[in-house]
Structure 1
Amino acid sequence: PARSYLNDRVLFRCEASQALPPVVYELLREEHIVASKTLTEVGQPANFSVQVTEESTGRYLRGTYVIPDPNPPVLYEGQKLLLTCKVQHGTYLSYQWNLNRKEVSNRGSKLTIARVTEQDAGDYSCSAKNDLENPRISYSNDIRVVVRGTEDLDELSFVVSREDSGYHADVTCQSSRGSPPVSFRLFLNGTVVASRAATSLSAHFYIPIRTGVNYGELQCRVQNDVQELSSNTVTLEVVPVGGEVRLRVDYLYDASSTVAAVLLQCAVAMGTFPEYAWFRNNTRLGEQGDSEVTANRGRSLLLTPAGAGNSGYYHCQVKDSFDNTSWTASRVTLIQVTGEILLSVRMIAMVLGCFLLLLLLGTTCFVVFRLHSEFL
């Protein structure tokens, strides 16, 4: 009963039908344990008989806990999260929510997040407080909410290696964001050729190939519990290096029309995975030195600062990066850098303008002189 006379006995009945024995029951009055009992039989209720005294008055505000939806609270970005603060017994209650021990503005018994993000992950707890003159507060335990990022596939790519058994394409499927575990599948011309469940955000697939053969279009797909994404398509074909190797030279000027740098670019007629080498006066240059820098996987060579020390005879060589084939060389080109200032277009225009102006003035003076002579 809600009220009772002194010295009467009041019966409290507690039951947790789904709990596995042994089950420990505790009867609490405003967070103070009045009695406890351990039961070993399945579904057996715990009965507490309490004699009423003057100290028995109060609200029997029992344990507070959080019920998550979904349960367990493991979600992907964009899904809905509902947390409910439950109190085993108590009335006239107000609630407070906390995330990672910091107060959340919501003060109701339910906390709803319509579309969760990774920032919503963490430890949630609630507390319930009654409205007595000397209020009591019951705190729940923390419940861990996990939010997994949605997948975002990087561009599919592959490299080629040679082994004793032949050539292999090492295909990389990778997601730049998201949360494992995920499932990767590799498609060739729309048909699954390999699959793998990964505990990381990347997977490698090895496919035996032969050079010079077009096998078709590769595509990677990644899947988790809520989404499936497809990568770009890449043609699975490895063309050996072949044909003419050409060397292009561009002089780069600064504002004063001085040669500031020289850009050399090496181009080969065909080849999927070319490897480049640069030479000055038949001496191979390193990947990075005091005055030269390579870029575009070695295809470009930048000479900076431009100076006499960079002058010389240059050429490039190309071969397959995955095989020990012979090099193919470009023609040899002489690069001369003197640091002299070259005439810019504006300067040439100014000189030409002055020349035309002098020519016009000279012609005018000749005509005036001629007319003056005839008049006399």
Structure 2
Amino acid sequence: MLAGKRILLIIGGGIAAYKALDLIRLCRKAGAAVTPVMTPAAAEFVTPLSVAALAGEKVHSHLFDLTAEAEMGHIQLSRVADLVVVAPATASLMARMAQGICDDLATTLLLATDTPVLIAPAMNVRMWQHPATQRNLAQLRADGITVTGPDEGDMACGEYGPGRLAEPAAILQAIAARLGPRPLAGRSVLVTSGPTHEPIDPVRYIANRSSGAQGTAIAAALAALGARVRFVTGPAEVAPPAGVEVIRVQTAREMLEAARAALPADAAVMAAAVADWRVANASGSKMKKDGSGRAPALDFAENPDILREISAPGPARPGLVIGFAAETDEVVAHATAKRLRKGCDWILANDVSPATGIMGGTENAVTLITADGAETWPRLAKDEVARRLAQRIAEAIAAG
């Protein structure tokens, strides 16, 4: 499935570096040529001899290789590949990539390339969850870099949680998706994402805890499969992905207007966490305390139901409409009823109880509900949920 493709594989210095050996084997079995690059730290975990033997090519590790640099070898290396893969992508590598620091061969190649880049992060769970790493991850996504993993499980350090390198077979799948056919080429998809902000007065608003991470990942995954994506986003914490048309909104009514304007579309993924109510008597100036000790009375009005509006029969209705159901109890039952009530084709249900850490977190655990029943997916990184959903959308559109 990768016949004739050339992969530049950058191996970072983490305990998971040993899995790069299996990834090389799988890539070559799939028909790809692999040019390996190792950071100095990677050589502490696997030997260059082992990597070279499996790749069938010389391992590159030194920026100042005089023979190669006489021909600007690092520039050549960075541009002859069809895809640059970083596996494992350590916290240090991700930080330097996000900041554009190039202090060794690996980071110089990454800064000098205009080739698509895919990274497979791997690190200790606390390092993965650290705000600095999450900021770097958001920046890399915004720069158009594809991310696969990490998985959740036992760590070499004895801890448990997200941070394990994705299995080589899963990384191979992600490589194939990035390099393979683009099944959504020529198709258009509407994606809504993020929260909405409903004003109380010019400086205060009602919102929710949605970060916009899942909707952003879905838009990126659909664009990677070739779709023209119109991305209608509320004021999210994460930056919108590269390669999509971004329409920014604040309120639910603005989101509905933008979503309607983005039609027609072959599919719509309504991933935004839209406020159910708005303040009907929002003040045009900042509310002040009056000394009485009484809080101001807020009158609420129901916001438009965007999912139901987009799902309504008519010539502008997308062929496939997908909603989300964020629930805190009886998740599947409530979501199943919501699918029927709203008139959408599929709905992704997830438990957003505070104990799950899903709302605003980096992972999701969803159940896909269709007319045929419910299919529960394991807890996955939001990027992986997005990749799976995008593939299912492509299959459904192809099947008509």
TM-score strictly above 0.5: no
Alignment TM-score, normalising by the size of structure 2: 0.19
Structure with more contact order per residue of length (Cα contacts < 8 Å, sep ≥ 6): 2
